[in-house]
């Protein structure tokens, strides 16, 4: 995108001196000067503030996926590698059984493994090395040519991409905060982006708005603790709370009741979801409490409630403090977008 702009945009034509840098050159420049470019952006924002182009009354935050310049086939994918490894192991086991069942090799002669078998063992070593790389990076997908990219759902399908975040001030449309993250969703980016604005401008807007993609109990709790005024579309919470019914569905998250004394959730049909364990998000440090219905097999509504939880039951992930979700929803009232 920038490479194309350097050949078409008059300002960039002047800035580059008609040298037309390619994508790799631009990436190396950004990589080597990332801190300096961030300072340039910060200075530009502060210049806009001095010029009274920024009002800091209302900010809007949103994100978009920018696809990496790599193909899916050039990456490592855990499920694919594990499937191939199982097939290889089965094949190797069969070959070794044939060797063991064969006649004893003449004494004094060394038995040499068939070339095909050697190739399979080399391939297995390569696969295990790839799985080791994925484990080291803590991901299930990894591009060998762009290790910072992550598999994300985009308008063109699931591809290696980046999540570009931006905060825009309402007065003149000036971007007052920008960041590129590796998160697939926007759920846990709201407070970080408000803090980015505070670092650039020196203050936060009186009110920051975001769509339903930023809905998260933890983020609302953090925002409230930091006294950030935020307006988030909580009416679309059915997606982020792992329910499939969607808005208006009987099984929407807001139709479930939490019993604080017993630490259980009660579904709209009266079923009890008991606490099963915690899942910790390593990147953000959040702990997600997981509740599951133990009567999955007998429940006549099991296909209309939650996503399948792993074989026998359905699970509800409790994102954050429900108290803060309810309070935020009531406090926003007619502001809900």
Instruction: Render 220-289 in DSSP notation, one character per residue.
Output: HHHHHHTT--EEE-GGGHHHHTTBSS-TT-TT-GGG-EEETTTTEEE-TTS-EEEEEEEEE-TTT--EEE
Q: How many CB atoms lie within 10 A of CB 321?
A: 14
Res. 337 pLDDT band, cuts 50 70 90: very low
Q: What is the pLDDT of residue 305?
A: 40
Instruction: Please choose, from the candidates 204, 163, 200, the residue with its C-alpha nearest in 3D space to the C-alpha of residue 39.
Output: 200
- Is the pLDDT at 205 greater than 90? The verdict is yes
* Whether this model's pTM surpasses 0.95: no
Residue 229 belongs to some domain of the structure = no
Residue 223 belongs to some domain of the structure = no
Q: What is the dihedral of CA 175, 178, 184, 187, to 10 degrees?
A: -70
Res. 289 pLDDT band, cuts 50 70 90: confident
Which residues constitute the domain of residue 310?
244-318
DSSP state of 314: B
Q: What is the pLDDT of residue 143?
A: 74
Q: Does residue 206 sit in helix, strand or coil? A: coil
Residue 282 to residues 78, 138, 217, 279, Cα–Cα distance (Å) = 19, 9, 17, 9
Residue 253 CA, chain-centre distance (Å), reads: 21
Could you tell me if 3 and 21 are in contact, meaning their C-beta atoms sit under 8 angstroms apart? Answer: yes
Q: What is the pLDDT of residue 237?
A: 42
Residues 28 and 79 both lie in one domain: no
Q: Which two tokens stand for residue 267?
A: 């579904």
Residue 214 belongs to some domain of the structure = no
The total number of structural domains in the chain stands at 3
Residue 1 belongs to some domain of the structure = yes
Residue 97 belongs to some domain of the structure = yes
Report residue 41: phi and psi, to 5°: -60, -45
Residue 199 belongs to some domain of the structure = no
The residue with tokens 């001196």 is 17
Residue 270 belongs to some domain of the structure = yes
Strands 207-210 and 230-232: parallel
Residue 54 belongs to some domain of the structure = no
């Amino acid at each position: 995108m920038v490479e194309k702009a350097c050949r078409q945009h008059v300002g960039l034509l002047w800035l580059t001196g008609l040298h037309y840098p390619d994508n790799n050159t631009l990436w190396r420049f950004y990589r080597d000067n990332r801190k300096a470019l961030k300072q340039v952006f910060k200075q530009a924002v502060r210049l806009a503030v001095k010029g009274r182009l920024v009002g800091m009354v209302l900010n809007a935050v949103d994100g978009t996926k920018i696809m990496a310049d790599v193909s899916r086939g050039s990456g490592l994918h855990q499920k694919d590698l594990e499937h191939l490894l199982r097939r290889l192991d089965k094949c190797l086991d069969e070959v070794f059984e044939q060797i063991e069942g064969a006649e004893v090799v003449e004494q004094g002669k060394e038995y040499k493994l068939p070339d095909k078998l050697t190739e399979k063992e080399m391939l297995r070593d390569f696969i295990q090395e790839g799985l080791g790389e994925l484990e080291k990076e803590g991901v299930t997908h990894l591009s060998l040519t762009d290790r910072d990219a992550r598999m994300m759902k985009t308008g063109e399908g699931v591809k290696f991409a980046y999540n570009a975040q931006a905060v825009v001030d309402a007065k003149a449309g000036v971007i007052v905060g920008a960041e590129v993250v590796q998160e697939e969703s926007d759920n846990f980016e709201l407070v970080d982006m408000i803090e980015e604005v505070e670092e650039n401008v020196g203050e936060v807007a009186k009110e920051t708005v975001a769509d339903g993609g930023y809905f998260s109990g933890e983020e609302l709790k953090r925002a409230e603790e930091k006294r950030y005024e935020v307006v988030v579309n909580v009416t679309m919470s059915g997606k982020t709370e792992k329910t499939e019914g969607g808005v208006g569905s009987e099984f929407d998250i807001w139709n479930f009741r939490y019993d604080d004394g017993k630490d259980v959730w009660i579904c709209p049909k009266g079923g009890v979801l008991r606490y099963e364990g915690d899942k910790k998000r390593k990147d953000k440090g959040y702990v997600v409490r997981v509740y599951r219905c133990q009567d999955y097999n007998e429940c006549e509504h099991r296909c209309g409630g939650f996503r399948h939880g792993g074989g026998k039951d359905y699970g509800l992930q409790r994102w954050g403090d429900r108290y803060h979700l309810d309070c935020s929803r009531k406090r926003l009232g007619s502001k809900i977008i």
